[in-house]
Amino acid sequence: MPYIPKWIADSMESLLPSKFMNASVDSSVYISPEIKNIVFTANLKEVDFYPGAAVNFRISPNDFRHYTISSFDREAGTFEIIFHIHGNGPGSDLASQLKAGDHLKITVPGGRKLYHKEKERHFFFGDETSLSFYVALMQEMEKNGQSCTGVLELSEQNMEVPALLGFEAMVVLKIADHPAQQAISYLQSIAEQDTVLNSAFYLTGNVASVQEFRKTLKRMGVSSKNIMFQGYWAEGSAGL
């Protein structure tokens, strides 16, 4: 829900209290100058969670932005989100300003269920905005004894972030004029020696990159039913 009239946003918060929860910032840490991990506290006893679940923040009287949860502990009443602080929008500005002790109202987690539990192998592709989803995905797969790998296209200043988060993933440099190009080259280099094409694929992040990666997978014979995708942002668009 990127933009809605103020009176509707106000009404949603007052008339649909079960769809919102009060949260507080417990702590925050910068993993890189652009990547910030924030731990929130809230009453999570009746809250559902699954890899890919996202919450919406009201960042202005008319605007909402959704962010994917990376870690969720119902008993402790905490959840975490990894934010990309890019400095190019109100959502990024809000995340950069959040500090311990801040209070805010957000929606309960929701969104598409992308995880295919029945598959043995899993492969992900994304960028900085995908980090929360893939941390949650890997934690779930570790519990289920499944194999997970992938490739991330990142800006130069964020190339070390996946390792700091415990990612076992290939990292390639993001090239603005050639979305997903280096990630696709990596996929093609391992496709012949590996059974990677039998995986469930999760494509998130930049819409243009997701589209290019998905087209390549289909040309390589991967069934559409094994390709889960969700664009988080696009050049020139707000609030996907």
Cα gap 197→216, rounded to integer Å: 11
Cα gap 237→182, rounded to integer Å: 24
Which pLDDT belongs to residue 75?
A: 96
The radius of gyration of the chain's CA atoms, rounded to the nearest angstrom, is: 18
Which pLDDT belongs to residue 9?
A: 63
The answer to whether the beta carbons of residues 135 and 71 sit under 8 Å apart is yes
Phi first, then psi: what are they for 101, rounded to 5°? Answer: 100, -15
Which pLDDT belongs to residue 221?
A: 94
β-pairing, 54-58 vs 64-73, is antiparallel
Instruction: Identify the H or E element spanning 172.
Output: strand 170-173
Give me the average pLDDT of each 10-residue run along the chain (240 residues).
63 70 96 96 95 89 86 97 86 92 94 90 95 94 89 96 89 94 95 84 96 97 95 73
Which pLDDT belongs to residue 64?
A: 80
Strands (E), 33-90: 35-41, 54-58, 64-73, 78-84
Cα gap 208→201, rounded to integer Å: 17
Cα gap 205→186, rounded to integer Å: 18
Cα gap 49→108, rounded to integer Å: 9
Instruction: State whether residue 52 is helix, strand or coil.
Output: coil
Counted residue by residue, the chain has a size of 240
Supply the pTM of this predicted model: 0.91
Percent helix, strand, coil in the chain, to 5, is: 30, 35, 35
Which pLDDT belongs to residue 192?
A: 77
